[in-house]
Every structure is written in structure tokens, then in C-alpha cells.
Amino acid sequence: MSDPVYQRVRQNPKFQALVQKRGRLALVLSLIVLVSYYALMMAVAFAPDALRTPIGQGSAISIGFPIAAVIIVISWLLTGVYSYFANGEFEDLNNQIVAESER
């Protein structure tokens, strides 16, 4: 693409909306993952006894294991959420921007 095309894309309100929506979604999803992960790390550091508690009486599995597994599953699900938006709304906006910039 030539410089005038880049200028038209950057000035397009749809491009600015795309950048803003994509950035906001990425920030929110990243914060959810980071906060949940670091909350677990803080619990490991400051309350290890709580995480050592068995799930049930006589169980060899501590409560920390399913908590960590849930964080991994949440990360996968949030990746799916981002992919859903990237392949839907963001892709549609991107196609509109490209079509308008080629005119």
C-alpha cells in the first residue's frame, strides 16, 4: 500500500474504532488472566496452608490443583472469546476498512 492509502486508513473512523475496540478487549482479557494467575501466586506465597487443604477427607489432591486447572481453562476460554471477536466483528470492520481504502 502506498502512503496515501495508509493515511486514508488511519483517518478512517472505522479504523480508529477497530483499534480502540480491539485494544480494550485485549486489555480486559489480559487483565482477567493476569489477575487470576497472580492471585494464585499470592495465595501460594502468603497462604500455602489454604492451598494444601485436601479436596475431601482422605483425598490426595489438594484444593490448589483444581484452582490452577480452572485458571488454565479460563485462559483457554478467553482465547476463544478473543478469537470469536477477531473472526467476527473485528474481521468485518477490517474488511470494510480495506474496501473503503481501495476506492
Tell me the pTM.
0.82
Task: Tell me the CB-side half-sphere exposure of residue 10, using CA atoms within 13 A.
Answer: 7
More confident residue, 4 or 30: 30
More confident residue, 3 or 94: 94
pLDDT of res. 7: 85
pLDDT of res. 2: 63
What whole-number distance in Å separates Cα of residue 68 and Cα of residue 80?
19
Amino acid found at 14: K
Quickly state the pLDDT bin for 102 (edges 50, 70, 90): confident
Interval 36-65: pLDDT, tens = 999 999 999 999 999 999 998 988 999 999
The grid coordinates listed for 39 are: 492471585
